[in-house]
Amino acid sequence: MAKLSLFERRRRRVRTALKARSGGRPRLSVHRTGRHIYAQIIDDAQGHTVAAANTLGAKGTDTDAAVRVGKELAEAAKKAGITSVVFDRGGFLFHGRVKALAEAAREGGLEF
């Protein structure tokens, strides 16, 4: 079996911990690329995406765009009737754009 990358090991560790303490709450999953950031709220029990937002077509600095995505996602979650989620950062470290998105989602009314 090939060795896993540091990113993949972090991702598996985070996902395993989330499954243990999710308590049936939907998962706020974040994916970050060099140019964009994507976030979606996933209901794992049903197997479908409840709300999603991304920076495609957005202008501004990276962290400002991430803040916008967090606020948009929080608004979409409210419309779907979701107030509490589990934050799944994947293998990404919790700083910079990922942290900005999380804080904006909290300000928008999501609890995690």
Q: Which CATH number goes with the domain that contains 21?
A: 3.30.420.100
Question: Among candidates 30, 38, 80, which has minimal Cα distance to 55?
Answer: 38
Residue 3: what pLDDT? 86
Q: Is residue 59 part of a domain?
A: yes
DSSP reduced 3-state for 28: strand
Q: Is residue 44 part of a domain?
A: yes
Q: Is residue 19 part of a domain?
A: yes
Domain hosting residue 48, numbered range: 6-108
Q: Is residue 97 part of a domain?
A: yes
Residue 1: what pLDDT? 54
Q: Is residue 1 part of a domain?
A: no
pTM of the model: 0.91
Sheet holding 37-43, edge to edge: 48-54, 37-43, 27-32, 86-88
Q: Is residue 29 part of a domain?
A: yes
Structure tokens at 20: 């243990």
Residue 59: what pLDDT? 80
Please, what is the average pLDDT of the chain? Answer: 94
Q: Is residue 46 part of a domain?
A: yes
Average pLDDT of span 2-14:
91
The total of structural domains in the chain comes to 1
Q: Is residue 51 part of a domain?
A: yes
